């Protein structure tokens, strides 16, 4: 036993901080490079999300952290950001960005299922998602959860591909389906089915579309930013998230 040298907990914490800071720095550098190449929408997205410079923001789908970088780059002000993903490695990207920017008091991460968010009713000012809906199933169910956790007047700000079949064609491109057939498959699986379908489902959940803009960078796919506002809050009496 005397030959065992224990590593002090402070040293472990310093090591974790350093490692995650390196992750955060790398993600920020990649986001900056991406903006210069094709992500012409990212700065607008960040400004829309952080417009009030206060309140609580929930990000659905941290992913590689590019959307998180867009938000932090615009400045959180006095606001707070909770970045959520179903993958631990992706959630760690938000932790890394927070540590690198020394914003640990304002940015936190959470691993959770978007269908049952562990967040109280009417408690969030802004929900945002940077391509998160494009990667998710049961989009309609996710919209229910977004509506539930947002305050009345709260905003849902979303970035998605303008062509909803891009992702499914990348997966099933070797099968000679028509675009209509791809759309039918996407609809049956509850995938994102385009701006018109998203607007229709959002309206069912007490949202109104306030703003949308399509970006056509030329060297990449078209993408659209949409801003939805929650109009009322009487659909979830006594609802408690699982």
Is residue 241 domain-resident?
no
CATH of the domain at 153: 3.40.50.150
How many domains does the structure of the chain reveal?
Answer: 1
Q: What is the predicted pLDDT for the residue at 241?
A: 56
Q: In this structure, is the dihedral angle defined by the CA atoms of residues 192, 122, 206 and 77, taken in order, positive or negative?
A: negative
Beta strands in 56-187 (DSSP E): 56-60, 80-85, 107-111, 124-130, 150-161
In a domain, 166, yes or no: yes
| Global pTM value | 0.87
The pLDDT, as a whole number, for residue 5 is 45
Residue 238 lies in a domain: no
Tokens of 151: 């305050």
The count of residues in the chain is 242
**Owning domain of residue 78:** 9-230
Domain annotation covers residue 3: no
Q: Give the CA radius of gyration of the chain.
A: 19
| Residue 69 belongs to a domain | yes
Q: Burial-class residue 84 by CB neighbours within 10 Å (0-12, 13-18, 19+).
A: buried
Contact 145, 173 (CB under 8 A): no
Structural domain includes residue 235 = no
Question: What string of pLDDT tens digits covers the 242 residues of the chain?
Answer: 444 445 455 554 565 566 788 889 998 999 989 888 889 999 999 999 999 999 999 999 999 999 999 999 999 999 999 999 999 989 999 999 999 999 999 999 999 999 999 999 999 999 999 999 988 889 999 999 999 999 999 999 999 999 888 877 776 666 677 777 777 877 887 888 899 999 999 999 999 999 999 999 988 899 999 999 999 877 765 555 55
The answer to whether position 126 is within a domain reads yes
pLDDT at 15: 58
Q: Which pLDDT score, from 0 to 100, does residue 190 have? A: 82
Q: Is residue 236 part of a domain?
A: no
Which among 101, 81, 83 is positioned nearest to 21, based on CA atoms? Answer: 101
């Amino acid at each position: 036993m005397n030959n065992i040298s224990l590593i002090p907990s402070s040293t472990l914490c310093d090591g974790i901080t350093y490692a995650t800071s390196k992750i955060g720095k790398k993600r920020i550098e990649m986001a900056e490079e991406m903006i210069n190449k094709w992500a012409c929408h990212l700065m607008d997205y960040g400004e829309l999300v952080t417009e009030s410079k206060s309140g609580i923001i929930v990000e659905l789908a941290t992913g590689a952290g590019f959307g998180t970088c867009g938000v932090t780059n615009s400045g959180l002000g006095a606001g707070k950001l909770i970045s959520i993903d179903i993958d631990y490695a992706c959630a760690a990207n938000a932790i890394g960005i927070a540590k690198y920017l020394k914003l640990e008091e304002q940015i936190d991460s959470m691993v959770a299922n978007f269908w049952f968010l562990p967040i109280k009713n009417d408690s969030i000012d802004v929900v945002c998602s940077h391509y998160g809906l494009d990667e998710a199933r049961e989009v309609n169910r996710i919209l229910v959860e977004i509506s539930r956790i947002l305050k009345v007047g709260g905003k849902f700000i979303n970035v998605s591909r303008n062509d909803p079949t891009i992702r499914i064609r990348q997966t099933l491109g070797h099968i000679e389906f028509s675009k209509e057939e791809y759309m039918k498959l996407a609809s049956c699986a509850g995938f994102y089915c385009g701006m018109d379908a998203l607007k229709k489902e959002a309206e069912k959940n007490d949202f109104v579309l306030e703003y949308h803009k399509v970006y056509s960078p030329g060297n990449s796919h078209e993408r659209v930013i949409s801003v939805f506002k929650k109009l009322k809050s009487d659909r979830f009496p006594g609802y408690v998230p699982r």
